[in-house]
Amino acid sequence: MLHGRGDEQTAVERLLDAARAGDSGILVIRGEPGAGKSALLRHAAERAGDLRTLRGAGVESEAELPFAALHLLLRGELGRLDALPEAQAEALRGALGLGALAPENRFLVGLAVLSLLAEIAGDGSLLCVVDDAQWVDQASLDALVFAARRLDAEGIALIFATRDAAEPAGLPELVLRGVDRAAATALLPADLAPAVRERILDEADGNPLALLELPAVLTPEQRAGRLAPYTKIPVTSRVRQAFLGQITALPEAAQLVLAVLAADDTGSLGVVLRACEEFGVGVGDLESARRARLVEVAGQEVSFRHPLIRPTAYQNVPLTTALAVHRALAGALDGREHADRRAWHLAAATAAPDEDVAAELVRVAERAQTRAGYAAMAAAYERAAELTPDPDLRSVRLAAAAVAASDGGRFEHAARLADRASDIGDPLALAHLLQVRAHVHVDKGAYAEAARVIVEGAGPIALLAPERAAYLYLEAIRCAWFGAAAGPALRAAELMPPVDVPLVGGALGLAEMMGGEAPKAVASMGRLLTDPDISGLGIPGRLFLAHVALASGRPSLADEVAARAVADCRARGMDGWLIVGLAARMQALACLGRYQDMIEAREDGTPLVGDPALLDGPLAFAHAELGDEERGRGGGGALGAWALGRLELALGRPEAALKAMEPVAGAAYAPFSLFMLPDRVEAALRVRDTSAAEALAGRYAEWAEAVGLPSALAVAARCAALVADDEERFALAVQLHEGGEQPQEEARTRLLYGEWLRRARRRAEARTQLRAALATFDRLGMSLWAERARAELRLTGDVPAAPRRADDPLSVLTAQERQVVRLAATGASNRDIAAQLYLSPRTVGYHLYKAYPKLGIAARSELAALVG
């Protein structure tokens, strides 16, 4: 019985009941040490009944070993790996060290974990409990959280227990506070004197472990009431003192065994005893600790009775003994599967710089990279740097640690590592450090600042490695472009080394555009886009190509290139670049009017990258275009400003629209200051600022004529028609839009042309344009613009139909259901769909089961005809 935890037990049991019913659920139990987290996990396992149960735990000394905790959790089920798709099975085997090292693919490992858990749950529901999650290695935690966020209808209950404010974050939580006084009293022995009882109740502060352990160390005299005064200290320290008293009561040999066990991270009785042989202690001394109820032995496994005993036992021995213990454990570990553990124990046993040990850790980092363990890779390089005697090599390894942390999406830590790499002479490492520092700003949406960081720091690299510097200046121009910062872009172009790098022409074109030279810029970028061979480009280069395509009025090409880059980032587990890739793709989709696809891309990326600020602007733009006023006002950056401007324009508030777009209006041809020019033309005319409208229309026309593409020329003709009040240009704009790739802009043109015709009292012709505009707005889900078209139609005497999206039969589905249905309509199996969408096959089936009645169909065979 758990005293004082009735509500918490009910929450756990509710999760188990849901799993039995086929629904999946996640719970993170948080609390201070001794709060009862482990007891609740045991309660869950006891109540699981017919549920299959997997148990795992974090071990503090294993926190830098990639996938150590995952191996502990899944080790009894690895025989099922053959049931997974081959690529997933290969990735998980490689991650766990069971097969050939697979190419880095962190997300595929997460998907494999999800698929394996679903496979296990296929025999009946499943309970997974992970204790001490604050010590789970980052690679395991990433894979488990990835799976947790994708759980839906597998019948899996996944419960983590962790410390306050520790990972995992962003999942449903249950926070354990101290138990009430009545429950606390019930946990105390009956033979305590009243004053002693009150003293312990006060000291324990509702902590169940303290309530159980503090009385156990009292002498008979103390239990009777003879207690010395005390100073109030945190309850965890009190409990550790109680455990320390039990440890120091043992013979020194038994205390040494406990120190070895505390430093061990395998839980293997054989490993612990082999290490103990170095000190002349052994199984008899371990038995003393077992009789004292400090450790538990089950078969060939040995563990501490409570997690707090481990640090207490470790800290009980002198530093020299702790170093010797780690060296003994390194010697006790043999075989390739223990190579990383052996290296980390050698590092823990080394107090001074040692190149041999540092080199071992570099090999650990290289293995971690192969297994997509970026956090472990960063940690290994960082510790290797600390043990490296040579200052230059130390800085190079710190730079490698910074890059790994950045690639893993941990930008602040990456920046701290970069700051520690001083006086570095290697140009490649220098370039990596500069890019890491810039990426910290990119992650926050501060593109302009990122560009300035690169421009100010790339000079020394240009002298040593001009080609590498060219790529840095290229990145600076890209950041300046999206930050609407012409100054850094022009300075980067000025400093660009004269090297033959494929993307330099495109970079110079962007800089020229920001300098107001649209025709020259488009010519420079056009040469790059004539035959864009991306086969030899890395992720940054391909994303840059996407930006050049967007600036050249080719959003479809930008989307194609960005989508492929995003897929590669997923496959390689590159969180940092995945965020940038998602932003690039959402920006391209914004220009294509594919707003629901923008939201789906963002939602699909959430389990992978969390909630970065960089994606706030694109997401706000999508919501604004879809008529969600509240969420359309939540974005930052240039795209957020454009979103707000278009929202205000759709709501009939031109003055507010101009004010919203003003912060990024100054840059001549930065991406969204360029694309918002037509909106500013319309808003300026509605507030009767004709001269401003003429100037804005002229700037847009200069770019459109240089680009020469029908979509761009159509919008330029629309702007000219508005400024000149010219029907002929309206008609030209409509004609140019035909067959174009921007339906939202064609609808806007037809709406404005219809308004013009209606004011000219040509109502029948106006209705033709307005009905076409309305149909497109409805199809795209642009409800505010659709309402404007309906209002105009009513003024012509027409009675428009109620809001609908007649051309989108999938509009009744959720975003996830739409993705599943579209893939199912192509003939893909549930298993194929699951692999593409990072879901379990059972969840795919569940979404289809929910979608069929909404779509009015009964079988999968009907999907192809419906989706078309």
- What is the CATH number for 832? 1.10.10.10
Contacts of 583 (CB under 8 A, 6+ apart): 614, 615, 618
Contacts of 109 (CB under 8 A, 6+ apart): 67, 91, 92, 95, 139, 143, 371, 372, 573
3-state secondary structure of 234: coil
157 and 60 in a single domain? The answer is: yes
> Structural domain tally of the chain?
8
Instruction: Report d(CA 773, CA 775) in Å as an integer.
Output: 6
For position 616, what pLDDT does the model report?
Answer: 86
Read off the amino acid at residue 588. A
Instruction: Report d(CA 290, CA 63) in Å as an integer.
Output: 26
CB atoms within 10 A of CB 466: 15
Within a domain: residue 776? Answer: no
* DSSP 8-state class, residue 808: -
40 and 148 in a single domain? The answer is: yes
> Burial letters for 158-184: b for 16+ Cβ neighbours within 10 Å, e otherwise?
bbbbbbeebbbeeeeebebebbeeebb
Instruction: Report d(CA 534, CA 546) in Å as an integer.
Output: 10
Within a domain: residue 793? Answer: no
579 and 647 in a single domain? The answer is: no
Single residue among 329, 348, 367 that ends a domain in this structure: 348
Single residue among 488, 505, 528 that ends a domain in this structure: 528
Single residue among 528, 547, 576 that ends a domain in this structure: 528
Own/partner pairs, 811-818, CB within 8 angstroms, 24+ separation = 811/781, 812/854, 812/855, 813/851, 813/854, 813/855, 815/596, 815/599, 815/600, 815/603, 816/603, 816/847, 817/847, 817/850, 817/851, 817/854, 818/596, 818/600
Structure tokens at 411: 């930008």
Which of 677, 692, 683, 600 is CA-nearest to residue 638?
677
635 and 597 in a single domain? The answer is: no
Q: Are 715 and 699 spatial neighbours (Cβ–Cβ below 8 Å)?
A: no
Which residues constitute the domain of residue 100? Answer: 6-175
3-state secondary structure of 627: coil
Within a domain: residue 501? Answer: yes
For position 608, what pLDDT does the model report?
Answer: 58
19 and 166 in a single domain? The answer is: yes
* DSSP 8-state class, residue 566: H
User: Among all chains, which residue has been given the structure tokens 């699981």?
Assistant: 48
Within a domain: residue 699? Answer: no
26 and 61 in a single domain? The answer is: yes
CB atoms within 10 A of CB 355: 14
Strand partners of residue 56: 130
Instruction: Report d(CA 549, CA 489) in Å as an integer.
Output: 17
For position 668, what pLDDT does the model report?
Answer: 56
For position 584, what pLDDT does the model report?
Answer: 92
Structure tokens at 528: 């790059």
Q: Are 522 and 706 spatial neighbours (Cβ–Cβ below 8 Å)?
A: yes
Q: Are 382 and 401 spatial neighbours (Cβ–Cβ below 8 Å)?
A: yes
**Strand duo 301-304 + 295-298: pairing:** antiparallel
Instruction: Report d(CA 733, CA 716) in Å as an integer.
Output: 8
Instruction: Report d(CA 703, CA 715) in Å as an integer.
Output: 11
3-state secondary structure of 28: strand
Structure tokens at 375: 């956090």
Q: How far is CA 347 from the centre of its chain?
A: 31
Query: How many helices (H) and strands (E) would you count in the chain?
Result: 48, 7
Instruction: Report d(CA 189, CA 46) in Å as an integer.
Output: 25
Within a domain: residue 271? Answer: yes
3-state secondary structure of 259: helix
For position 567, what pLDDT does the model report?
Answer: 86
CB atoms within 10 A of CB 189: 14
* DSSP 8-state class, residue 228: -
CB atoms within 10 A of CB 218: 17
For position 717, what pLDDT does the model report?
Answer: 98
38 and 99 in a single domain? The answer is: yes
Within a domain: residue 97? Answer: yes
Instruction: Report d(CA 455, CA 452) in Å as an integer.
Output: 5
Structure tokens at 73: 């959790």
DSSP H or E stretch at residue 297: strand 295-298
pTM of the model: 0.69
Within a domain: residue 60? Answer: yes
**Strand duo 126-131 + 52-57: pairing:** parallel
For position 557, what pLDDT does the model report?
Answer: 93
Instruction: Report d(CA 106, CA 111) in Å as an integer.
Output: 9
815 and 859 in a single domain? The answer is: yes
Contacts of 527 (CB under 8 A, 6+ apart): 505
Within a domain: residue 477? Answer: yes
121 and 170 in a single domain? The answer is: yes
Which of 589, 605, 608 is CA-nearest to residue 597?
589
CB atoms within 10 A of CB 55: 15
For position 40, what pLDDT does the model report?
Answer: 95
Which of 138, 704, 728, 698 is CA-nearest to residue 404?
138
Mean pLDDT per 10-residue run, the chain (868 residues)? 89 96 95 91 93 91 83 92 88 81 68 93 92 91 90 94 85 92 90 86 85 81 70 65 90 96 91 96 95 92 87 92 96 88 94 96 88 80 95 91 86 88 80 88 84 93 89 89 84 90 82 84 82 69 88 93 88 76 93 92 67 81 93 83 94 94 71 88 96 95 93 97 96 93 96 95 95 94 94 90 66 82 88 81 88 86 81
524 and 549 in a single domain? The answer is: no
Structure tokens at 483: 């930050």
For position 521, what pLDDT does the model report?
Answer: 85
131 and 58 in a single domain? The answer is: yes
11 and 82 in a single domain? The answer is: yes
For position 141, what pLDDT does the model report?
Answer: 92
- Label residue 291 exposed, middle or buried (CB < 10 Å: 0-12, 13-18, 19+): exposed
Q: What is the DSSP track for 143-178?
A: HHHHHHHH-SSS-EEEEEEE-TTPSP-SS-EEE--P
